[in-house]
Chains A and B, each alone.
Chain A
Amino acid sequence: MAIAQQVNATRMELLKQKKRLAMARRGHKLLKQKRDELMHRFLQLVEETRGLRERVEEKLAAGFRSFLLARAEMSKEAMEESLMTGASRNGALQTEMEPVMSVWVPRFVLSDTRDIYSYGFAATSAELDTALTLFKEALPDMIKLAEIEKSLELLAEEIETTRRRVNALERVLIPQLEENIKKISMALDEMERSTRASLMRIKDIIRGEA
């Protein structure tokens, strides 16, 4: 419900309120369009993330199975040692920012696809190769998943605030302005009628005297 506001019943004020109403309506229309488009993108991403997550989970599950087998076959020290080499790979991931409907979302680009089997083959089991291949295949999907889920989070936030703004305009500001305009024009009309009535009365008195 619009809260009644004290407004001056003047023509100036009426013009001002009318201008504000036009502005509010335009803003409302734009925000509504923005909300709809955001929602559209959001739902597209939701659809995308579902298939992606399934793929990632499948690959990881297979990878973990092979990896556990490899662990069983190898000594802990040999394992640690053969995997240590990966730690030297630097700057493989690039993070860029991209605007989606005024929301800045990250884009992750994995640039480094060097050989991962940088260990000796003598001390490692074949299962380790399988596991690492599976992990390597899963990684781009995982990164994509990170990107999409982060975008979803940020978009959800934006959609929520946009929806609040649309509702605030629709349910509070616009009705309030309409109410004000009605009040002012009624007051102005009333003033005009009263002026006219007193003028007629004065005219009568003047005529009676003449």
Chain B
Amino acid sequence: MSKIAIVGKKDVYLGFKALGVTVRHAQTPQAAEQAVLELASQGFSIIFIAEGLARELGTLLERFSKSPTPAIVMIPDNMGSLGVARERIRRLVERAVGIDILSRGER
């Protein structure tokens, strides 16, 4: 079983299938949530998820943040980056450091 999966629109990520990555089609956040939960229980260690879908799934991602696997990572789709992933890192930094030290550098 390959251990990497992508959750998102099939049309966009289909190319990764040739690389041995499992591609699960999901167009709504609900479908994406379902897909992520299934993949996680099947032992996938990396799950990439389209940013647009992940934006609505904050609590789901939070649930997996404490265990070492699966690593859930947001990737852009063909519409380009939405900045959701950067926002997530920024929040992590804020939580760890206590203050927001990144937004200054990114402006």
Contacts and interface: CB of A to CB of B under 8 A. Distances in A.
Interface in B58-107: 65-66, 68-69, 71, 73, 75-78, 80-81, 85-86, 88-89, 92-93, 95-98, 102
Contact of B86 (A53, A152, A157): A53
A37 B16 CA distance: 38
Interface in A23-47: 39, 42-43, 46
B34 interface: no
Contacts, number: 143
A89 B96 CA distance: 39
A63 to B, nearest CB: 7
Interface residues on B, range: 35 or more
Interface string A76-100: 0001101111111111110101000
Contact of A150 (B15, B68, B98): B68
Contacts of A150: 68-69, 71, 73
B89 A149 contact: yes
A64 B12 contact: yes
Interface residues of A, number: 63
A90 B2 contact: yes
A11 B75 CA distance: 64
Nearest to B98: A163
B15 A95 contact: no
Given A92-B2, A146-B46, A149-B73, A118 B18 contact: yes
Contacts of B66: 153-154, 157
B46 A143 contact: yes
Contacts of A53: 85-86
Contacts of B69: 95, 106, 150
Given A53-B85, A106-B45, A132-B18, A142 B73 contact: yes
A61 B19 contact: no
Given A146-B46, A152-B89, A159 B71 contact: no
24 contacts: A43-B97, A46-B89, A57-B81, A61-B76, A80-B14, A83-B18, A86-B20, A87-B20, A93-B2, A93-B3, A93-B4, A97-B68, A104-B68, A116-B19, A131-B15, A132-B15, A132-B19, A139-B16, A146-B46, A147-B71, A149-B88, A150-B73, A154-B66, A159-B97
Interface of B: 1-4, 11-12, 14-22, 45-46, 48, 65-66, 68-69, 71, 73, 75-78, 80-81, 85-86, 88-89, 92-93, 95-98, 102
Interface of A: 39, 42-43, 46, 49-50, 53, 56-57, 60-61, 63-65, 67-68, 71, 79-80, 82-93, 95, 97, 104-106, 108, 112, 116, 118-119, 128, 131-132, 135-136, 139, 142-143, 145-147, 149-150, 152-157, 159-160, 163
